[in-house]
Amino acid sequence: MNDSLPGLIKIYRRWVGEKTYLCNQYLDHETNETKYKFQLAPKRGNEKYVSDVKSRIYEKVPSTEQLEKQHLLADENGSNVLHITLTVDPKRYLGDLQSAWANLPYYLNKFLSAFRKRYGRCWVLRSFEAQENGFPHVHLFIISEQTFSCEWYKGEKYWRWLIPELTDDHKAIGADETVDGFENLWSLGFVYARGVGKRPYMRKQIDVKNYVVKDVVSEVSVVDVDSDVEVKNPELTLALNWLFRRQAFSISGSDVLESVFNLIPVCLTQTEVLKNAFLRRLFEFSRYEFISFCGIVRCSEPPPDGFIKLSNDQEHELEAQAIGVR
């Protein structure tokens, strides 16, 4: 399948480049006419999709103030907030690229089950990214019951607050006994973990919401995003997540934040498809009735049955949406 990746990207570009709109109608009781309204629909990678991802993450991720209030972010002892990357190495994973993407949720669930068994309950936000060879790796943003000791390292671009000796025995702060490193929980590749907190040259903690938003949005948009996680192949990530029907992100463990940290309501679990969430928000208090998704066709002849002729105002509105003005 690796040889087919350029073709997949080409097909994805064609699909996302075809504008799709939400067609809505309502009855104007004054004129007794049926009127229509069209709005750009979210498609994986387009402007509306990225906007929806941002809004959903801002709604679901706890703020820096909430985490600081519960003493969960970096201090002289450690952090309960982790950023973990799990890679899939073709030399370790014996299957092909297609099976790697198809089976990734299974192996990720095994990792998280083992993590929770070893370190206690945790809240997890996950996203998938494609490596240059097309194989996936996983980004995890974790808020754990356990506090992890970390050390600062100066890299080429950023300070990294790493958890030392991942492959050796490691003792989490407050743990009763020494435990093995994270790599013992993940057999498909390498594990890279760091704490989330204030960098040495910063007076304030980083903005956790923005930190997570930038990392996830960098994987769902081909636009350059200022992020600590460098996404080298955003279109490949979008195309493969689109092909295998993977959500941009998902959240589990909302009960941890509610019952243990008392941060935010239990409504955190993100299980809805972005499209359905968008439709609910759009029409909850609207007089419009959703009809269907549709495309736009330009023609010089009168439209056939099943087509709607747009007014000049409707046409200008659609053009504005298509270029991202609205």
| Residue among 79, 70, 122 nearest 251 (CA) | 122
Higher pLDDT, 280 or 87: 87
Q: Looking at the predicted structure, is the pLDDT value of residue 99 above 90?
A: yes
Q: Phi, psi (5° rounding) for residue 141?
A: -110, 110
pLDDT at 17: 85
Q: Return all residues near 120 (Cβ < 8 A) that are at least 6 apart.
A: 144, 145, 146
Residue 231 has pLDDT above 90, yes or no: no
Alpha carbon 65 to chain centroid distance?
Answer: 22
pLDDT at 288: 73
pLDDT at 88: 94
Lowest mean pLDDT among 124-128, 141-145, 243-247, 311-315: 311-315
Q: What is the mean pLDDT of residues 301-322?
A: 66
User: In the predicted model, is pLDDT for residue 173 greater than 50?
Assistant: no
- The string of pLDDT tens digits covering residues 12-45 is 988 888 888 888 887 877 888 887 777 888 888 8
Strand ordering across the sheet containing 151-154 = 151-154, 159-162, 191-195, 79-87, 136-148, 122-130, 250-252
pLDDT above 90 (res 135) = yes
Please determine, for residue 313, whether its predicted confidence score (pLDDT) is greater than 80: no
Tokens 């996983």 — which residue? 138
Query: For the whole model, what pTM was predicted?
Result: 0.72
Q: How confident is the model at residue 154 (pLDDT cuts 50, 70, 90)?
A: low
Checking if the pLDDT of 262 tops 50, the result is no
Q: Which residues contact 273 (CB under 8 A, 6 or more apart)?
A: 247
Highest mean pLDDT among 29-33, 43-47, 66-70, 96-100: 96-100
Calculate the average pLDDT of the chain.
72
